[in-house]
Structure formats: C-alpha cells, structure tokens
Structure 1
Amino acid sequence: MSNESTTLRSTEISAAALERFAREVAKYPADQAQSAVMACLAIVQQEQGHVSLDSEKVIADYLGMPQIAVHEVTTFYNMYNQHPLGKFKLNVCTNLPCQLRDGAKALAHLEKKLGIHMGDTTPDGLFTLQQSECLGACADSPVMLVNDRTMCSFMSNEKLDQLIDGLRGASTGEAS
C-alpha cells in the first residue's frame, strides 16, 4: 500500500471509507492486498453512488496495483456503476425465462411510465432504468432488482405501477 500517494489522492474518498479499506485489506495476507479490490469498489459505491475513474486510481494506489486492473474489475461486473445514477436503480431481467414471461413488456411499461429509455435516468434524478442479466429467480419471472438489494418478482404492469408510485411517494415523504 502506498499511503503517501493515497493520502494525496483520497480527497474524494472519506477517511471512514479508507478505514473500511484497511479492515478489508487486513483480511488477506500482506502480499495479497489486491484481493480486497471488490470490497473497496463496493465501499466507494456505497459512499458515492458510483465508482469514478479517480476513485479507481485511489483504490489502485491503496492496494498497490495498476489502475487498469481495478478498471477491469469495475467494468467486468455490472454491479458497479461507472457514472452517477438515479436514487433508485431499477434492473429488469432480460434473459430468456423472463422474456418468455413478459419481461420485455415489463421493461417497455417502465420506459413508458418513467418517460425514459433503458440506460437513462429520469430528469428528476429519481430513477435509472437498466437491463440485467439473470437474477436467479426464473420461476418468479418477470423479475427486477431495486438498488442492487431488493428483488421484485412476478412484475405485472399493476405491480410495476405500485412500485414506482411507492418509491416516488417515499422519496417525497408522501404515504402511498
């Protein structure tokens, strides 16, 4: 770990995040600090909502590895956001089982309801709509994941409307 260069470049990553980096790195032998790269990426994303190129550089310096190696991990996994997203990230499964059970219709319904296309964020910054690879709940299709944490199953148009209206209401403090 190069603490000097990390200190110089860590202005966008909080001291608390750097402390969490240290706890993750401590889980591995001293010569295998790079094993904590995914944990460090997750920490940055939790703090900032996405992983910027500058953050990748800080992580690379901290772990003593090339920045391109960190970038390869960031771009390989779709769980890392490479640019700012809406408050609610909606990942709709577009794999075959979900497609056979109206997954494409669910995605189209969300595009219409939100007034955006897949990959876009609503003008109010609330929703980002993305397609997803298999979420492992094929029997419950169509499925989607909200903010990489909450699985939503059997997503009919009615359930999609309820979800969006509920999230909108929650973000404005209204009861839905």
Structure 2
Amino acid sequence: MKGGMKDPLPPRKRPWTTYVALVFGMAIVVLVAALPTALWPLATGSAMVGNCSARLEGLEKALAITNQSLSEAHGQRDDCKRQLSLLQGKALELEEALHNVSRLQGENRALQAAVAQQQQQLEDLQGSRDRLQQQNQHLQQQLQAMRSLYSDGTRLPDTSLGLLVLLLTRMLLL
C-alpha cells in the first residue's frame, strides 16, 4: 500500500447494487433531458405548421421575384449582346474607313508632289516663254530697223543680214 490508501475492491467483488443504481440514474437523466424535447413539437406543432406555411409563401414570393429579375437580366443580357454585335460591326466599318483615309492621304501626298513638280515646270516654261518673247521683240525691232534701212533705198549691210540669220536660228532652237 502506498500512502495509507486502501486498494479498491477488485471488479468482481463490487456490489451489484452500485451498477443498478448507476443504470437507473443514467436512465432518469436521459428521460429528463429528452422529455422537453419530445413534448415541444406537440405543444408548438400547430404554431410551427402555420409559421412554416407563412415562411413557404414568403419563399415562393421571393422565388417568383427572383425568377422575374432573372428573366429581366437575361433580356438585358440579350440586348447587350445585340448592341455589342452592332458596335463590333461599326468598329469594323470604322477600321475600313480609317484604312481608306490613310490610303487617300498617301495618294493625296503623291498628287501634291506631282502638282508641285508641274507648277515648277510651268514656272520654268513661263520663264522660257518670257525670254523668247523678249528675244522676239528684240528681233522684231532689229527687223524693223533693217526694213527701214532697206526702204530708204540703201542696201543692207552684210553684217546685219548675218546677224538676222543668227537671231532667227537662235529663236527657232529655243
């Protein structure tokens, strides 16, 4: 023995009354705990049925509202899909138009360069025409001077005739 305590009796020597008392105590505890739980549905059964049908009606109304909202959402989604499809079509049209604008801008730049080149050529030709007109006027003045000398009955000098031929040739070459 340790510390002055008695060893408990071995299990086969315990009195059977202790076991019986323990079983009866457990049964009473279980009955006391189960009795209110078993009696509660009987006492509140009709109230619960009324409460359940009210809750069921509320849930059915909520379900109807949810279904209606879902239907509206599906309709809105379909509208959005149609609008998206239209916008995608317009986006493609705009991309094509942008491509055409870019192409036309390139053609416009090329045409502007060609116009600038033709304007330069026109200016050059106008300058040449102005020079030729001046030469023509000068030659006409010289020819007039020669005619007046010839009409006086005098003979044209040989140098004047050579000069006239040279001027006429030069005028034809330009």
TM-score norm. by structure 2 comes to 0.17
- Higher normalized strand content (fraction of residues): 1
- Higher normalized helix content (fraction of residues): 2
- The structure whose Rg is larger is 2
Structure ranking higher on relative contact order (CA contacts 8 Å, 6+ apart): 1
